[in-house]
Amino acid sequence: MEKDEMAKIYDRWKNTVYRTALTYCRNISDAEDITQEVFITRFNTDKIFESDENEKAWLIRVTINRSINLLKSFRYRNRIAFEEIELICEAPEEIGLFNAVNKLPNKYRIVFYLYYVEGYSVSEIALLTSQSETNVQTKLYRARKKLKKMLKGEIEE
């Protein structure tokens, strides 16, 4: 693969891969590491994609798999996480929403992210995460319900 082609692929998908990793692991350093690993994997594969959407889906799937592997690792489970929210959120009101989404269990957080941030449909999320469409719909419903409860508590205080 030529350097120009690598640069185009990286520029096109770096934010998607990074945000997906950050959604999973909730740590900027880990998300950067995963992003780097995903693109190394992409550049070392000879896979030819039918469309940009197929390539995006493949990159997200690889990112999810790398993130899951990190979350299962001994190193990750036995450390104190830190967050650099100020680097992610541009407005003060975004911090509250980011914190609320970040407090969602991982199984809800990733479907919420893929649906609302990346714009995937329920059926596409089902394929990406190897779940049924009903399961994805249920998780989206529960995520919205939990977020509403968390944010309502903040507003009323």
Q: Which residue has the higher pLDDT, 56 or 26?
A: 56
Task: Report helix, strand and coil shares of the chain as percent, to nearest 5.
Answer: 80, 0, 20
pTM: 0.61
Please name the amino acid found at residue 24: Y
The reported pLDDT for the residue numbered 14 is 94
CA distances from residue 94 to 16, 37, 134 in whole angstroms, order as listed: 19, 29, 30
Determine the average pLDDT of the residues in 84-91: 56
Residue 85, SS3 per DSSP: helix
Predicted confidence (pLDDT) at residue 15 exceeds the cutoff of 50: yes
- Least confident stretch, 64-73, 85-94, 137-146: 85-94
The phi and psi torsions of 22 (rounded to 5 degrees) equal -65, -35
Residues 107-125 pLDDT 10s: 898 898 888 877 889 999 9
Q: How high is the pLDDT of residue 80?
A: 41
CB 70 within 8 A of CB 34: yes
pLDDT of residue 157: 43
Mean pLDDT for all residues in the chain: 83
Q: What's the average model confidence in pLDDT over 66-74?
A: 82
Position 83 pLDDT exceeds 50: no
Q: Between 156 and 97, whose confidence is greater?
A: 97
| Alpha carbon 88 to chain centroid, angstroms | 14
